[in-house]
Amino acid sequence: MSASAAASSATALRCVGVTRSFASSAGPVPVLRGIDLDAREGEVLFLVGPSGCGKTTLLTVIAGLLRRDGGECSVLGEDQEAMDKGQAADFRRANIGFVFQAYNLIPTLSVAENVSVPLLLNGRSWAAARRDAEAVLASVGLADKADESPSRLSGGQQQRVAIARAIVHAPRLIVCDEPTSALDHKNGEEVMRLLRQLAREKGSTLVVVTHDHRIYDYADRIAEMDDGRVVRISTPAEAARHDQ
């Protein structure tokens, strides 16, 4: 499947004028100063920019885990802040997958059990969840690690498990915060390649926060942020030209 075929006209994510500030001893500090951003369904969108510019904060707002102060933000046409707490949880459970920098695998569960969790949350039986988890683990090259404890895997392997967990229930949107920054170059590329490939297969939209120039080529578009605003949106080729 090519990038252009996956990119449909439907909008997966739309942010208009999103603002958010945090309280500090010196009064409120604006962190998001009016974010305008959208992503089409199936698109791979990177969020890049200097440290502290608000990337993680924006991702948390998009995921529905942090309230915005102003502006609009909808995922799959739905505003999560208009839902009550339970509905919002149901929405995330069905539609959003998560990949973290720190993997966040549950250490007392096996690899396959970790991957099963989103399916179990969505009401699948233990056995059915296990079957699907094994299939996704095979596609990230970890079929033989299903019964291992996550702590016995390398960082790259753990992040591949996390990818399997994020994608196993085919969510429409996957949010990733620095998924490769704890990994060396080779493992980082492998993780990004798998993430993109599986997202394409399932038709999921990917929003990836990253610092990692080496993986820019995996993006369809790159949104550059600075000081709480999106300052430029470009293709990987354009971004590479700007960097020189």
Partner 1 sequence: MLRVSWKMLVGDTAKYLGILFSLAFTTLLITQQGATLLGILSSTTSFIDSIGGVDLWVVDARVQNVDDIKALTDTQVYRVRSVPGVAWAVPLYKGSIKARLPDGTSQNCQLIGLDDATLIGGPASMLSGRLADLRNADAVLIDEDAARDKLARRDANGQQQAAGVGATFELNDHRATVVGVYRGQRNFQSQPVVYTTYNRAKTILPNERKLLSYILVRLQPGADVVSVQTLIRQSTGLRAYTGEEFSSSSLAYFIQNTGVIMNVGLSAVMAFVIGGGIAGMTFYDFMLDNQRYFAVLRAMGTRDATMVGMVTLQAAGVTLIGFGLGIGAGAALLRFVLANSEISLTLTWPLLAAVGSIVVLVGVVAGTMGLLRVLRTDPAVVFK
Q: Which spans of this chain sit near ligand ATP (rule: CB under 6 A)?
A: 22, 31, 51-57
Angle at the Cα of 74 from the Cα atoms of 97 and 92, rounded to 5 degrees: 30
Interacting residues of 167 by C-beta distance below 8 A, sequence separation 6+: 97, 136, 174, 195, 198, 199, 202, 204
| Contact partner, 120, from Mg ion, ligand ATP, partner 1, none, Cβ < 5-8 Å per class | partner 1
Count the residues of the shown chain that bind partner 1, applying the rule CB under 8 A: 29
Helices 155-167 and 126-139 pack at an angle, to 10 degrees, of: 130
Q: Please name the residues in contact with 162: beta carbons below 8 A apart, sequence gap of 6 or more.
A: 99, 100, 103, 104, 105, 179
Measured CA distances, 23 to 15, 86, 231 (Å): 23, 27, 25
User: CA angle, 87 as apex, 85 and 70 as ends, to 5°?
Assistant: 60
User: Residue 85 contacts by C-beta under 8 Å, 6 or more apart in sequence?
Assistant: none
Both structure tokens of 91: 């929405």
Nearer to Mg ion, 56 or 122 (CB): 56
Between CA 112 and CA 135 the distance in angstroms is 10
Interaction partner, residue 54 (Mg ion, ligand ATP, partner 1, none; CB < 5-8 Å by kind): ligand ATP
Nearer to Mg ion, 32 or 112 (CB): 32
Stretch that binds partner 1, among 6-14, 18-26, 117-125, 226-234 (CB under 8 A): 117-125
> Rounded to the nearest whole angstrom, what is the least distance from the CB of residue 56 to Mg ion in the complex?
3
How far, rounded to the nearest angstrom, does the alpha carbon of residue 243 sit from its chain's CA centroid?
A: 24
Cα–Cα distances in angstroms (integers) from residue 54 to residues 66, 173, 210, 218, 225, in the given order: 13, 20, 12, 22, 8
- Complex with Mg ion: residue 39 or 53, whichever CB lies closer: 53
Query: Between residues 113 and 178, which has the closer beta carbon with respect to Mg ion?
Result: 178
22 binds, among ligand ATP, partner 1, Mg ion, none (CB under 5 to 8 A by kind): ligand ATP
Rule CB under 5 A: say whether 60 interacts with Mg ion: no
Minimum CB–partner distance for residue 193 and ligand ATP (Å): 23
Min dist. Cβ of residue 101 to partner 1 (A): 8
- By CB under 8 A, is residue 182 in contact with partner 1? no
Among 46, 98, 216, 218, binds partner 1 (CB under 8 A): 98
Q: Interface with partner 1 includes 83 (CB under 8 A)?
A: no
CB 117, min distance to partner 1, A: 6
Q: Given the rule CB under 5 A, which residues bind Mg ion? A: 56
Q: Given the rule CB under 8 A, which residues bind partner 1? A: 56, 59-60, 63, 65-66, 85-86, 89-94, 96, 98, 100, 104, 106-109, 113, 117-118, 120-121, 126, 177
